[in-house]
Structure 1
Amino acid sequence: MLDVSWRRNLWILWIATTIDGVAFSEVIPFLSLYVEQLGNYSKGELSILSGMVYAASFFVVFFTAPIWGRFADKHGRKRMVLQTSLGSAITLALMAFVGNAWELIGLRTLQGFFAGVIPNATALVATETPKEHAGYAMGIITTGYVGGMLVGPIIGGFLAHAVTIRVSFIITGLLLFGSFVLSATMVKEHFHPSKKNKKESLFDIHFLKDFPNPRVVIWLMISTVIVQIGLFSIYPIISLLVKQLMHNRGPITIVAGIIASLPGIAMFMTSSTLGKISDHYGANKVLILGYLFTVAFYVPQTFITSLVLLGVFRFLVGISNAAVYPIIQTMLTKVSPTGSTGLAFSMNQSAQALGAVLGSMMGSEVASYFGYSSAFMLSAILQGINLILILKFVPELRWNAHNILNSHD
């Protein structure tokens, strides 16, 4: 039975995760512009409200990611995929009808509550696929959500330009509903909860008790938070900055979508190469250089007055991020016991969400006082602090450290 259904599961869930990735990332080019349409706001008010809109969904994800992970282990991954895809479809479609920024913030909060399609679809594929095909299946499902995240801002920019921002929300909601119907009718799960999962609480606070080196895990989480702060401090202002550089003329949402996608495209193109380099020369060395280059590429963006140069440096930031994000994931895998890998990555998802909340709010606050470009300098300073903290408190990750990432079973 397993052999009959796993390929169908894989491709249906590939469609679902691609659509979900697009839905969550396509709003980046125009969300701030949508807020601007919902009221008469000063430049400072617009920056702060945009930050709140971006932060709202991630604020909820920070709390719900570990809980939903445990819930899926107890009740089944397909159930979580269906709940979250249907909830996301309804929430996205309703955003087309908001009358003010606070209603949009409320729906973005609800969207965060339903953020669970990608991790649960990935877990379902992992558990339903025969072991001899696991590598192939995980590679395919990863291209789904990564590809969706990459092309989402570009699709969102074109949709907003072609059919208005409000209509683009309705189209996205319909696509998500289509993926819900496909998953409900065609995905098969052979779920049998373990006795251990039945007894475990969804709110167990002793989540690091099985980790042999919790200090390293905690600092990797802190580093993830700071990296996300740097990344998301830019998102609330990127479309507003593009609009400013284009003097409020031309296809602003399309250009903003392309600019917003460039770091992700660069990461996608270079992460595997940097991963091979880290295997050869040491993950700690690649990580340190990643932080240094991130700082070096953020600083010039503070002074940029050209869209072309902004695009170039956003692409370069993506390359430096490829030396940070995947390396942290690799380190986290290797310092986590096999039985707690899922928990480790749900905690990492929470850390990313916390960084997204703090980054959105900090970036918009700084931009409201010092202008849009100041968010880039904030990001550069934070990544410099990140590097200093890692070098000071995690000697295992210093340049000359050896044998730092042994696997734990």
Structure 2
Amino acid sequence: MSQPANVLAQTANFADPASYAGRNTLYWRRNLVICVIGSFTTLVSLSMLLPFLPLYVQQLGVTSPAAVVQWSGVAFGATFLGTALTAPLWGRLADRYGRKPMLVRAAVGMAIVMSLIGMAHNVYELVALRLAAGLIGGYASASIVMIGTQAPRERAGWALGILSTGALAGNLAGPLVGGFLPSLISIRSTFFAGGAMIAVAAILTVLLVREDFRPASDVKNRPAANAVASKAANRAVTITLLLTAMMVLLANMSIEPIITVYIGHLNVPADHLARTAGIVMACSAFGSMLTAARLGALADRIGSWNVIIGCLVLTGLVMVPQAFVTHWWQLAALRGLMGMTLAGLLPSIAKLVRHSAADHESGKMLGYLQSAQFAGQVVGPLIGGFIGVHIGLHSVFFVTGSLLIACAVLGQWARNRPGQAA
């Protein structure tokens, strides 16, 4: 089946040795390895405070149990908010000054801020520093911009899937590390250890990441093919992709505020409740780790839209039986299955967003994609908590499942618009 002319023009430009991707053909595999390592270490450092965050808040002088919970939530969400606000800016600067400087900026900035968190004197400093980590950092986001613009079109889905696996592994390992490290070296020293891990990623990035960025050609001179691609880009389709990315994270995070309460209704003993909730939450990330790269490669073979729509439908359907489980292990199995279907979405969406934008705007568009994802992480728990309190715990699964099915319908509409590639 022949592709539309604008898609052929995009493909031709993407393989052009004079283009940014063409000049970096020799570097993208090594850069992918370093970006996976850096994404893993930075996300381990950011997520490892989950098990002991309330304890640290207490150390900083908060005594009321309700205030401890409130400030812990604010401190944890501040990083997501900061990243959502600045991701488009860093993406735009990556288009102007290159992708590697953004990686170095994120790694160095996060290493400094993470160490400073270990020296916080009060809860206000903790929240401010967590916000700064999001505003200044974003190594995983910068990695998506670099790999998304360097990897060949026919390997982009697989590469972004591998990168997603590293990020998921970091989010999974972080709470495990945070569960035992403070007892060995103290809570404050744990932050210093996290800063040291990110510093190692910064050194690897400076020494090993390679990029052939030429401002004169990559910014000022815009090839005719890019002009055609920019003109043909459909704003409605791009909005659909960004909305879908937000809904993916929203659906995954919507259960977070209620999961412990929900598991408590499944006859789990009170002294095992926290541990069981942690296992159930980890199952989603573990499932995604198993299939992210495979589904990314599948998108390269059969088309990103096919994977996106299929995974949205499957994930929406898997949400429904979670409302009817009678044992915690049933919920864990379904969350793992949901993670496996969710894993195909973000790499495929990132691939489509990247190839719908001209080279000189690809970083900015991928930055908007990161903002949409982090917005979903912020909004998801809020919506899940509201529905759980005012409508019922089971309704959270029905609502989020319905939203995903609606996104699949919207995706099918976007896919059928003129000029869209598979």
TM-score by length of 2: 0.72
Say how many residue pairs are matched.
388
What code does the residue aligned with 1:290 have? L
Deviation at 1:88, TM superposition (A): 0.8
Instruction: Report if aligned partners of 1:128, 1:190 keep a CA contact under 8 Å in 2.
Output: no
* CA distance, structure 1, for counterparts of residue 353 and residue 49 of structure 2: 30
Deviation at 1:352, TM superposition (A): 0.6
User: Is residue 20 from structure 1 mapped to residue 42 from structure 2 by the alignment?
Assistant: yes
| Match in the other structure for 1:382 | 400
Matches within 5 A, 1:316-335: 316-322=337-343, 324-329=345-350, 332=353
Work out which of the residue numbers 332, 335, 352 in structure 2 matches 1:311: 332
Instruction: Report if aligned partners of 1:29, 1:239 keep a CA contact under 8 Å in 2.
Output: no
Deviation at 1:78, TM superposition (A): 2.7
Work out which of the residue numbers 58, 61, 65 in structure 1 matches 2:83: 61
User: Is residue 212 from structure 1 mapped to residue 236 from structure 2 by the alignment?
Assistant: no
Deviation at 1:342, TM superposition (A): 3.8
* CA distance, structure 1, for counterparts of residue 262 and residue 119 of structure 2: 26
Structure 2 unaligned runs (5+)? 1-22, 223-228
User: Is residue 197 from structure 1 mapped to residue 215 from structure 2 by the alignment?
Assistant: no
* CA distance, structure 1, for counterparts of residue 158 and residue 250 of structure 2: 33
Instruction: Report if aligned partners of 1:60, 1:109 keep a CA contact under 8 Å in 2.
Output: yes
| Match in the other structure for 2:128 | 106
| Match in the other structure for 1:356 | 377
What code does the residue aligned with 1:286 have? G
Secondary structure of 1:194's aligned partner: helix
Instruction: Report if aligned partners of 1:56, 1:105 keep a CA contact under 8 Å in 2.
Output: yes
What code does the residue aligned with 2:203 have? V
Q: Using a 3 Å threshold, how does the CA distance of structure 1 residues 167 and 267 change in structure 2: closer, same or farther?
A: same
Which shows bigger deviation, 96-105 or 27-36? Answer: 27-36
Deviation at 1:263, TM superposition (A): 0.6
| Match in the other structure for 2:413 | 396
Work out which of the residue numbers 302, 312, 317 in structure 2 matches 1:279: 302
TM-score by length of 1: 0.74
Share of identical aligned residues, percent? 27
* CA distance, structure 1, for counterparts of residue 168 and residue 402 of structure 2: 27
| Match in the other structure for 2:105 | 83
Deviation at 1:266, TM superposition (A): 0.5
* CA distance, structure 2, for counterparts of residue 31 and residue 184 of structure 1: 31
Deviation at 1:93, TM superposition (A): 2.2
Deviation at 1:84, TM superposition (A): 1.4
Instruction: Report if aligned partners of 2:162, 2:293 keep a CA contact under 8 Å in 1.
Output: no
Q: Using a 3 Å threshold, how does the CA distance of structure 1 residues 239 and 88 change in structure 2: closer, same or farther?
A: farther
Instruction: Report if aligned partners of 1:65, 1:116 keep a CA contact under 8 Å in 2.
Output: yes
Residues 78-131 of structure 1 show CA distances to partners (whole Å, capped at 9, x for unaligned) of 322222112111222232343544332222111101233234345556778899
Instruction: Report if aligned partners of 1:290, 1:324 keep a CA contact under 8 Å in 2.
Output: no
| Match in the other structure for 1:247 | 270
Residues 150-179 of structure 1 show CA distances to partners (whole Å, capped at 9, x for unaligned) of 433333334346545443222111111222
Residues 20-39 of structure 1 show CA distances to partners (whole Å, capped at 9, x for unaligned) of 23223333444456446652
* CA distance, structure 2, for counterparts of residue 191 and residue 382 of structure 1: 42
Instruction: Report if aligned partners of 1:89, 1:177 keep a CA contact under 8 Å in 2.
Output: yes
Instruction: Report if aligned partners of 1:16, 1:179 keep a CA contact under 8 Å in 2.
Output: yes
What code does the residue aligned with 1:152 have? G
What code does the residue aligned with 1:154 have? L
Deviation at 1:183, TM superposition (A): 2.9
* CA distance, structure 2, for counterparts of residue 339 and residue 76 of structure 1: 11
| Match in the other structure for 1:205 | none
What code does the residue aligned with 1:312 have? A
What code does the residue aligned with 1:193 have? P
Residues 230-279 of structure 1 show CA distances to partners (whole Å, capped at 9, x for unaligned) of 323344565788899563469x5x76654432211101223455564993
Instruction: Report if aligned partners of 2:51, 2:175 keep a CA contact under 8 Å in 1.
Output: yes
User: Is residue 41 from structure 1 mapped to residue 55 from structure 2 by the alignment?
Assistant: no
* CA distance, structure 2, for counterparts of residue 320 and residue 133 of structure 1: 20
Work out which of the residue numbers 165, 169, 174 in structure 2 matches 1:147: 169
Structure 1 unaligned runs (5+)? 201-207
Secondary structure of 1:407's aligned partner: coil
Q: Using a 3 Å threshold, how does the CA distance of structure 1 residues 360 and 51 change in structure 2: closer, same or farther?
A: farther
| Match in the other structure for 2:320 | 296
| Match in the other structure for 2:246 | 225
| Match in the other structure for 1:96 | 118
* CA distance, structure 2, for counterparts of residue 228 and residue 165 of structure 1: 29
* CA distance, structure 2, for counterparts of residue 131 and residue 222 of structure 1: 23
* CA distance, structure 2, for counterparts of residue 240 and residue 106 of structure 1: 30
Instruction: Report if aligned partners of 2:107, 2:139 keep a CA contact under 8 Å in 1.
Output: yes
Instruction: Report if aligned partners of 2:230, 2:358 keep a CA contact under 8 Å in 1.
Output: no
Deviation at 1:209, TM superposition (A): 6.4
* CA distance, structure 2, for counterparts of residue 140 and residue 284 of structure 1: 17
Secondary structure of 1:66's aligned partner: helix
Which shows bigger deviation, 213-222 or 320-329? Answer: 320-329
Matches within 5 A, 1:121-200: 121=143, 123-124=145-146, 143-160=165-182, 162-194=184-216, 197=219
* CA distance, structure 1, for counterparts of residue 244 and residue 24 of structure 2: 40
C-alpha RMSD over aligned residues: 4.5
* CA distance, structure 2, for counterparts of residue 336 and residue 80 of structure 1: 20
